[in-house]
Structure 1
């Protein structure tokens, strides 16, 4: 995957929950993704930088800096880059309405597709009761989550030595715990209701690290997922349709190599 290639081009790309500044961030996989995918508009839908973790323990390897530089380079080359902060990078909400390095900071925004449909773009933590009303519990949940990711790192280190591909223990556990499944369902319904209240066709959000592209109560609900567990992104094609890209799954099947080869000979 080191041969120079032209990236796949989309009308818009949506990324969230990258969590730069944490050990669980899959920055290397994201860099490969950004090298092979481009768009007219790139939406960063919150929790791109993890301020919660950085305040407690500074962790910023070169790959994390490379991700920032890659995104800024896309802005310099003409892409519109919109940053919608989440709860982990809420410090950026103080800069809503400003630009830095060609990046627009917005609390939320509307995205209009090639077909003229409007989508609310928002991180989604505003509709998480725990984050809004029980911050101490949110911090405790964050600690538990980071602990699970640390275990996940050890497990995947062993899997790599045995020749097995990447697998997310925390993502698997999330879908097996009834309370987590119920929370995801309530979150999806709440965001769909907010989209309906604002009179738009759909909502594109993040926050819960669970990628989705579905209809929820008559609203097109899209969740970008994350770059800690599943490594997913949402793309709008030039015909106005959406694509959920599951990058970790594609890497397991060798698809990135196929993309690079196709682009190299095209």
Structure 2
């Protein structure tokens, strides 16, 4: 193991939240929009039997245009590898931004399994298809040049997020996503999300499973669509969310940005009362 693997991790003063399964996607390591510090905080705060990395963990599209890799991005990878080393099953389902890893499906590295997709059985016996979801995005499939154009505009919004939140930190304000706020107020974007969710659910129905877990569109959601449960675990550039399963098979979305806001507000109240 490299020397950094054995470096001491920060000590937590709160017990870790235990889950049966955790799904995260769309981290986009290698971009300035990645909220690596919030993700690290989340990963240090949990224990789980299985961790699914549901695509776009590393952003190969952006890295090909220019190298950006701060130490916090190394720390995310180190934390995931440590979880695998300590007994967590880690399954990596590559997405379109990290499609270079699809050539290595079936192999493993550092205890991390690579797979095109996975079938997950919940504690209560339901079968869930786990896939990144880009194959259901007609723009990515049939007009890749348009996807790259959209990626450029989206990257500008994410950079604006970084600048905005740098100012908010100076003002001791919590994280807030400008890009997420604007996306959910654009009619075409909302319409696309709805159609995408329905397409994914139809595919899951055809596969004979009870539900589907995906990422790709950066919009965390749990909803029933024609008897199929659609789960989207969100992302770590806008909403900073994860999907989790408890020991009974109950599924929920963890909004870590909101958790962080509440934690900061509680700390302020305690400080004011001290």
1:216 alignment partner in structure 2: 225
1:170 alignment partner in structure 2: 179
Q: Is the Cα–Cα contact under 8 Å of residues 219 and 235 in structure 2 kept in the other structure?
A: yes
Pairwise CA RMSD: 1.5
Distance 2:201 2:131 in 1: 12
Distance 1:198 1:257 in 2: 46
Which is bigger in relative contact order (C-alpha 8 A, separation at least 6)?
Answer: 1
Q: Is the Cα–Cα contact under 8 Å of residues 19 and 25 in structure 1 kept in the other structure?
A: yes
Tell me the number of residue pairs that the alignment of Structure 1 and Structure 2 aligns: 258
1:114 and 2:123 correspond: yes
Q: Is the Cα–Cα contact under 8 Å of residues 135 and 141 in structure 2 kept in the other structure?
A: yes
Structure 2 counterparts to residues 67-216 of structure 1, below 5 A: 67-216=76-225
Change (3 A) 1:205 1:257: farther
Q: Segments of 4+ in structure 1 off by > 3 A?
A: 1-6, 255-258
What SS does the aligned partner of 1:165 have?
coil
Distance 1:201 1:192 in 2: 10
Q: Is the Cα–Cα contact under 8 Å of residues 195 and 203 in structure 1 kept in the other structure?
A: yes
1:64 and 2:87 correspond: no
1:16 and 2:20 correspond: no
Q: Normalising by the residue count of structure 2, what TM-score does the alignment of the two structures yield?
A: 0.91
1:35 and 2:41 correspond: no
Which ranges in structure 2 are unaligned for 5 or more consecutive residues? 1-9, 268-274
Structure 2 counterparts to residues 231-250 of structure 1, below 5 A: 231-250=240-259
Which ranges in structure 1 are unaligned for 5 or more consecutive residues? 259-266
Q: Is the Cα–Cα contact under 8 Å of residues 33 and 247 in structure 1 kept in the other structure?
A: yes
